[in-house]
Amino acid sequence: MVGIVIVSHSKQLALGVQELAAQMVQGQVSLAVAAGIDDPVNPLGTDAIQVYEAIASVFSDDGVLILMDLGSALMSAEMALEFLPPEQRDKVYLCAAPLVEGTIAAAVAAAAAKNIQEIITEAQGALVAKATQLNFISIPLSEVSNQSISSAKVSTQEIRILVRNRLGLHARPAAQFVATASNFQSQIKVQNLTRNTEAIRGDSINQVATLGVRQGHELLITATGIDAQAALAALQALIINNFGEDDSIIQLPTPRTEVSDLNQGELKGIATSGGIAIAPLVYFQSASIPVMEYHIENVEVEWQRLQSAIQVAKQEIQTLLSHASLQIGDAEAAIFDAHLLFLADPVMLDAARQHIVEDRLNAEVAWQTVVEEVANSYRKLEDSYLQERVDDVVDVGQRVLRILLGNLPTDLQLSEPSIIVGTDLSPSDTAKLDPNKVMGICMTAGSATSHSAIIARTLGIPAVLGVDSQVLSLDSGTLMALDGESGKVWIAPPVDILTTLEAKREAWQIAQAEARLKAHQPATTSDGQHIQVFANIGNIADAKAAINYGAEGVGLLRTEFLYLEKTSPPTEEEQLEVYQAIAEILDNRPLIIRTLDVGGDKQLPYLSSLSAETNPFLGVRGIRLCLEHPQLLITQLKAILRASVKNHNIKIMWPMIATLTELRAAKEILLQVQSELRQASIAFDENMEVGMMIETPASVAIADQLAPEVDFFSIGTNDLSQYVMAGDRTNPKVATLADALQPAVLRMIKQTVQAGHAANIWVGLCGEVAAETLVAPILIGLGLDELSVNPQAIAPLKQAISQLTITEAQAIASVALQQDSATSVRELVYPIG
């Protein structure tokens, strides 16, 4: 019997199609799925190896039919055929039929024991009945067998719309536009009517960005396909809502005019990020990547090399994105969402593949050629702001080249506080800077509107760009001073300049300290109720930032950074060193360490049994994985317990608990580890609190049974929301469902708080919703004792809490629980207009 393979960018879509088809044929036909990529934050994509494995799983001499959605799905399917032996390849057919209707029609025909050609005909005619009913075509059904579906007149619709956000389709809005367009089967075309451009592909980040769309420009967006109307509605909503931006999303420094002449040793540049820096200079220069061109014979091997490098680059950027979200906030970290889309741009990928296949160029040269072509398209734009996006393209391009050549990342290592000097900083390099070591930035290139400059301002690092190149000839260690407000730089400044600058720096620091004073005070409502405000962190640097921002403790230490991107599990000593360092920084403030929370969506290469799962969010993750691999948990618990001495206020928190059995199994392992340490005379905190995360509807339902077993609950609303609403938060089509302000989720929070308080334990919340200061009245009104947020959100959250009374908060929460949607809930607390 003929087997069927479903290839899609979306695993959820493919599984849904597979389920529909399976129900139609009651398991009579072999159906396999090759969909999505192993990337939890950006899972859309296709993989030729997956397609190859799917073909092998359903192969029969009767043939295999492959149905695909769009873009690279076809490319991956074609590549998969190359891996097959010739005798099998001749029995595999790629079908141009629509994915959903075509798969169902093909499955029914296969179950009826029709041959492969008859099945193809049925699949390609699957859309005709629907199209005829909707008056899109008027082809008699009797003619279907003689026509390809491509001859039907598929619906084409269009909208015209003005772009109103202040900087137009800069990188982040362009990334949102492309991500939305890519989620539909219809072909999306976009034209900038104001600039009279040609229509370009809506799923290409570079083509969208180089349209030069600014505030007030009019777009013509067309969609051709079976979901054209839905695609246009989604894009229209995105634009009407200004891509979620407000006018403060990108704050540019106010230009200052200097009328005084420069003295000896003074240089003038572009004022980019305010503040005074005085420190020795250290040179920073991204290592050049020499690329050699050579002729290749096996084009598929070379193409696979490039695809593998791109996948590794995506993983690196995902890690950087997670780190940047904590360091600079989600809004600015979204810069790296655009970097991910560069790597998925079908136009770039098609061009690179063409250079490899047709020109027989090696992967490095093919990729570098395409990156340079795209960079030049940005350089040719009249818009200076958009011209600067070339830095992002080059940044991504260099990352892939480095991986192809096996080079290590070039991280800046400083032994003492310094001012870094160089030609330019990439956004990736800037996001990894440690503000405790990098006192200032002085570059000969760049501008105040570059993404690197935006990140520097967010990190609070004084910066002057566009300085004369003579700074590149100075000796390392030379004392330098810079004023990020005036744009001046001093080389070996004399005593009088140093005195003036130090006085200005001291005044600035005093002002900053006064501004942070309230952030370092307890968060207390106006009627005297103390709400603990903790920080979510991911490493040692984050811990320092959390204290600087006024955190009363750490409500969530994500320990995954110790395990990911390694070839073997971290040792007990490696973990102990990190936990102790963070505990020392916190100085007896609470430190809640979440045990390892990875699974099918976050691969650990050294766990061979951890394979990709059909739905990783419902698979072996969190405590489930640790119970399957107890040695991982035992090693981590030993390190945590050993770090708890010296009056360190450390607590343990279990992730993804869904049953009492899981909780008790984890506690049993902890008891065993404690017993082993006692027998070895190794000290630890015998009174350490142990809590658990509430992330599943199951844990809420039995919260009254779980509460007596632990010392605290911490509600993880990011996961709880998606599980309650059955909406994958990584899938843009349904991500809006996974909103912690959905009344169903708010009721779950209330139920958890009531169960916790009935058992005399405290209840906190560590989801992103806590950072929305206007939502604070609802969360406080629900009875939460603690809120844990990204460090940057601590000061505004504390201020919001100080303006509340418990009575007011409870009244607002009570009304919120009765609303019919998350939108209605937000309207209660967000100002209109």
Let me know if 426 is exposed, middle or buried by CB neighbors in 10 A (0-12, 13-18, 19+).
buried
Name the pTM for this structure: 0.51
pLDDT digits (tens, 9 = 90+) for 41-90: 678 888 888 888 899 899 988 899 999 987 667 778 877 887 788 788 88
Q: Which two tokens stand for residue 697?
A: 């509807």
* Span 299-404 CATH architecture: Orthogonal Bundle (1.10)
Residues 6+ apart with CB under 8 A from 397: 367, 368, 371, 372, 375
pLDDT at 833: 37
Q: How far apart are CA 393 and CA 92, in angstroms?
A: 38
Q: Tell me the backbone φ, ψ of residue 69, rounded to 5 degrees.
A: -90, -80
For residue 187, the surrounding DSSP H or E stretch is strand 187-192
Q: Which two tokens stand for residue 677?
A: 């340490």
pLDDT at 149: 35
The residues spanned by each domain of the chain are 3-149, 156-244, 266-286+411-504, 299-404, 527-829
pLDDT digits (tens, 9 = 90+) for 579-617: 999 999 999 999 999 999 886 445 566 675 555 566 667
Query: What is the gyration radius of the CA atoms in the chain, in angstroms?
Result: 29
**Residue ranges in the chain whose pLDDT is less than 70:** 41, 71-72, 127-155, 171, 244-264, 286-288, 322-334, 381-389, 408-412, 448-449, 511-516, 565-566, 599-606, 608-616, 729-736, 830-833
Statement: 3-149 belongs to CATH 3.40.640.10: no
Alpha carbon 562 to chain centroid distance? Answer: 19
DSSP code string of 469-490: GGGGGSPTT-EEEEETTTTEEE
266-268, strands of its sheet edge to edge: 266-268, 488-491, 479-483, 276-283, 418-422, 438-443, 463-465, 270-273
Among this protein's residues, is 520 annotated catalytic?
no
pLDDT at 320: 76
Closest CA to 328 of 449, 217, 428, 245: 428
Q: Which residue out of 95, 442, 626, 766 is catalytically annotated?
A: 766
Q: How far apart are CA 450 and CA 427, in angstroms?
A: 8
CATH superfamily membership of 156-244: HPr-like (3.30.1340.10)
pLDDT at 383: 57
pLDDT at 139: 36
Alpha carbon 159 to chain centroid distance? Answer: 30
Q: How far apart are CA 268 and CA 468, in angstroms?
A: 8
Q: How far apart are CA 311 and CA 308, in angstroms?
A: 5
Closest CA to 133 of 111, 112, 113, 155: 155
Q: Which two tokens stand for residue 571?
A: 């040792």
What SS3 state is found at 752?
helix
Q: How far apart are CA 551 and CA 521, in angstroms?
A: 9
pLDDT digits (tens, 9 = 90+) for 606-658: 675 555 566 667 878 889 989 988 999 999 999 999 999 877 899 999 999 99
Q: How far apart are CA 140 and CA 122, in angstroms?
A: 15
64-68, strands of its sheet edge to edge: 31-35, 3-8, 64-68, 92-95
Candidate CATH numbers 3.50.50.60, 3.20.20.60, 3.40.50.2300, 3.40.50.280; the one for domain 527-829: 3.20.20.60
Q: Which residue out of 451, 530, 626, 648 is catalytically annotated?
A: 451
CATH superfamily membership of 266-286+411-504: Phosphohistidine domain (3.50.30.10)
Asked, colleague to colleague, whether 266-286+411-504 and 527-829 share their fold, the answer is no
> 10 Å Cβ neighbour count for 261?
6
Among this protein's residues, is 626 annotated catalytic?
no
pLDDT at 411: 64
For residue 239, the surrounding DSSP H or E stretch is helix 228-240
